[in-house]
Amino acid sequence: MAEKFVSERNLKFLLYEVFDVEGLTRYSYYQDHGREIFDMILDTALRMGKDLLHGTFQEMDRNPPQYVEGRVKVHPLVRTLMRECGEGGWIGANAPYELGGQQLPIMISAASRFIFFAANYSASVYPLLTSGAAHLIESFGTEEMKALYIPKMFSGQWQGTMALTEPQAGSSLSDITTKAVPTQEGYYKIRGQKIFISAGDHDGADNIIHLMLAKIEGAPHGVKGISLFVVPRLRPEPDGTLVPNDVQVAGIYHKLGYRGAPITQLSLGENDDCRGYLVGEPHKGLSYMFQMMNEARIDVGMGAAAIASAAYYAALEYARERPQGRRLRSKDPSLPQVPIIEHPDVKRMLLFQRAVVDGSLALLLQCAKYADLEKVQEGEEKERHGLLLDLLTPVAKTYPSEMGLLSVSQGLQCLGGYGYCDEFPLEQHYRDARIHPIHEGTTGIQGLDLLGRKVVIKGGKAFKLYLEEVRGAVARAEATRGLDAGAGLLEGALQRLEEVTAHLLELAPGDPELFLADATLYLELFGVVTVAWQWLLQALRASEALEADPSGGDRDFYEGKLRTYQYFFSYELPKIEGLCRRLLQSDGLTVNLEDRHFTD
């Protein structure tokens, strides 16, 4: 199997050179950190990725979780990993010191997650979910809850989950029916079914803590009646003992990929003894849960980019080693064959993959930077970065997920028939990656979120701020030798995006369905423009670095960045034209289409 799954050089380029993570240490929350600590953390993540996670990548796929007598058995690595992630401080990395956290910048933990995901996506999900669930308790739970759950979760002893989906309520969360009945004792009795719950049960942790949506008896219809509960598998009694909490595991799913993690069906309160503990106020559960969902959406994007990264390096390694054919300039069959990386079409496939991987990662770290700034800033700056993060979350979830599929597929293609065989890791990456456009809100849902919610919030303020951000890069590029053409192309793309946005917004008051009919295409358009911006940022830094006449590997690296930037602007960015033409039509084709038209 390919050794390399991420580029340390590229991670450091993005963190230090493009996004200046060190600049965060000027804020008091991050003041104890610095480059040395960041480097140490990244080195540790790389070592864990290599030594602990990557070696079991295939093994966990081939030995998926087993459902045995109402419990789920997982690979022994899970317990080891949870413990190591607990002991190493990874689970509570971003939390404040007083809760046992490390106050680490989100950018650094995001980079670490990228490493873990690329090494072994399924395995990395366990600590990640625990982190998100603990963060939800941290933000909205009572002091008692924090004391009871957070230390055990940060230490990796207890698994956290997010339990939203039900048989009749997937994309439509307003339709959940899991019921919470208040009791005199303060807790609620929970009754219902949850499906597709990742890590919803397993023997790699001592307890499972579900952050669960349910409706308090008599609550209003729809999303306004949803509350958030902590529902442990084993509930901690006052004396410290753990008592079964009537959470039954009804089964697990057999999946295309992502097989190392169990996706479970849960049945709650079959014996009328499932207790849930209300988090925050009643009926505000969905807004709380959105904190975890938004973080999870960024993580899905990260997982997608990471799998594409591992697939890219496997394809690159193969392309450098596999001799096949000759260059078209010298087709003499008596000459030796050349490595396929010498063929322009293979170089194009590799550039595509790199463009997607590095472009996606840049966008995700950009989002992490906004999250860091929102966290530590105040007033207008805080709002600015919060709005930018909100706007870009569906983009950062979807571009890597959708393009990551194509990227992995191109990686597989580089190997020809071998890509289709399980001797090489590409076929697994291809299977694993397919979950990302689905979980944490499908691509269709993300499109509705972007156009129907994010673009219009606060009178379009987030969108205006976005245009400012991108135009900042355009202005710098205009003044940079070699990048003025790219600046012009991106400015042109922004104008098209503004034109399309204005056109669609005009439709909104009259017909919300027509307005949002092509929201998925709008999201695709937004994604290409946004990643073009991220490539321009990288090109700006690479150009600057090349001014200093670096040597050897550094020169190759920066020149490679510029070539990939060129690739993006000449192969990928032009694709927006086809999208814009459709988006400007709004002829209602799909709105007016009827079921009977599918008769054949």
Report the C-alpha gap between 283 and 267 in whole angstroms: 22
Of residues 80 through 99, those in contact with its own copies by CB under 8 A are none
Q: Total residues contacting its own copies (rule CB under 8 A)? A: 110
Of residues 457 through 476, those in contact with its own copies by CB under 8 A are none
User: Does 409 help bind its own copies (rule: CB under 8 A)?
Assistant: yes
User: Does 587 help bind its own copies (rule: CB under 8 A)?
Assistant: yes
Instruction: Report helix, strand or coil for 71.
Output: strand
Of residues 6 through 35, those in contact with its own copies by CB under 8 A are 7, 9-10
Among 47, 320, 453, 458, binds its own copies (CB under 8 A): 320
Report the C-alpha gap between 275 and 183 in whole angstroms: 10
Report the C-alpha gap between 417 and 340 in whole angstroms: 14
Is the CB of residue 159 less than 8 Å from the CB of residue 205?
A: yes
φ/ψ of 447, rounded to 5, equals -65, -45
The CA-CA-CA angle for residues 522, 349, 366, to 5°, reads 50
Among 255, 283, 284, 471, binds its own copies (CB under 8 A): 255
* Contact code string over 163-202 relative to its own copies, x by CB under 8 A: --x--x-xxx-xx-------------------xx------
Minimum CB separation of residue 253 from its own copies in Å reads 5
Q: Which amino acid is residue 64, in one-letter code?
A: P
* Contact code string over 562-581 relative to its own copies, x by CB under 8 A: -x--xx--xx--xxxxxx-x
User: Does 421 help bind its own copies (rule: CB under 8 A)?
Assistant: yes
Among 106, 350, 462, 529, binds its own copies (CB under 8 A): 350
Count of other CB atoms within 10 angstroms of residue 499: 13
Span of 130-138, 153-161, 425-433, 455-463 interacting with its own copies by CB under 8 A: 425-433
Of 222 and 282, nearer to its own copies (C-beta) is 222
Report the C-alpha gap between 98 and 87 in whole angstroms: 17
Among 516, 525, 537, 540, binds its own copies (CB under 8 A): 516
Report the C-alpha gap between 162 and 127 in whole angstroms: 13
Of 223 and 465, nearer to its own copies (C-beta) is 223
544 is catalytic: no
Report the C-alpha gap between 396 and 298 in whole angstroms: 6
Report the C-alpha gap between 427 and 80 in whole angstroms: 27
Is the CB of residue 15 less than 8 Å from the CB of residue 89?
A: no
User: Does 512 help bind its own copies (rule: CB under 8 A)?
Assistant: yes
Minimum CB separation of residue 537 from its own copies in Å reads 17
Of 167 and 472, nearer to its own copies (C-beta) is 167
Minimum CB separation of residue 541 from its own copies in Å reads 14
Of 466 and 522, nearer to its own copies (C-beta) is 522
User: Does 495 help bind its own copies (rule: CB under 8 A)?
Assistant: no
Minimum CB separation of residue 246 from its own copies in Å reads 25
Of 419 and 527, nearer to its own copies (C-beta) is 419
Of residues 208 through 227, those in contact with its own copies by CB under 8 A are 221-223
Is the CB of residue 210 less than 8 Å from the CB of residue 163?
A: yes
CA-nearest of 445, 468, 383, 358 to 114 is 358
Report the C-alpha gap between 13 and 362 in whole angstroms: 10
The CA-CA-CA angle for residues 36, 37, 43, to 5°, reads 90
Question: So which residues are the catalytic ones?
Answer: 440
